Chains A and B, each alone.
Chain A
């Protein structure tokens, strides 16, 4: 079946511009995660949804970052007034959701490469 998809794959923004990044998770996946991956580094957690509820946003670097998943499926990560330090690959992952005593696997999308000039 189809995996996690993200759009756009590449985005170039001028400093100060607002951007919106979309994630389409695997159908039926309850959990959805956003990660930020700076050049030469591992992914870093931003935020986590279970269905439409945002259960953890501790990784969002500033209040310019906002994520939503209003219907518990597609999610959008919005960055307002972009800065050069926001340049990174933004990864989305989804999973079935952990049941008691079970393990869970996160499936990653291809990422959106954001470049802020």
Chain B
């Protein structure tokens, strides 16, 4: 069975500080991994996917198959980054997403 774990429910940092939101997964095959973000009063939206190897809003995430992790990082947090962040896995056997429990990021001024 596939599983996604986000160990931190809440992460609070000051503006300009580095941010790392942790995500670990368990899946026997070759997964596709995503980070979704939900800003206040907005819908869930895709932030980035590992296969694209892109940087969105200064965020990056590297898939580490050895550690089964896909941590989300940003070198300098901004107040507008405050939101709920969900890590998600898509198996190659189906299209549904398996989500972690989410981490609330609060960036203080």
Contact = CB atoms under 8 A, between A and B. Distances in A.
B49 A44 contact: no
B98 A45 contact: yes
A43 B43 contact: no
B94 A43 contact: no
B43 A59 contact: no
B49 to A, nearest CB: 7
A92 to B, nearest CB: 10
B31 interface: no
Counting contact residues on chain A (CB < 8 A from B), the size range is: 20 to 34
A108 interface: yes
A103 B99 contact: no
- Specify the main secondary structure of chain B where it touches its partner: mixed
Contacts, number: 54
Contacts of B98: 45
Given A105-B46, A108-B45, A111-B43, A56 B94 contact: yes
Contacts of A23: none
Contacts of A95: 95
Contacts of A82: none
A98 B44 contact: no
A48 B94 contact: yes
B51 interface: yes
A44 B99 contact: yes
B89 to A, nearest CB: 11
A45 B97 contact: yes
Interface of B: 4, 6, 9, 32, 43-46, 49, 51-52, 86, 88, 94-102
18 contacts: A3-B43, A31-B95, A33-B96, A35-B97, A44-B99, A45-B96, A45-B98, A91-B44, A103-B51, A104-B95, A105-B46, A106-B97, A107-B45, A107-B46, A108-B44, A108-B45, A110-B43, A111-B43
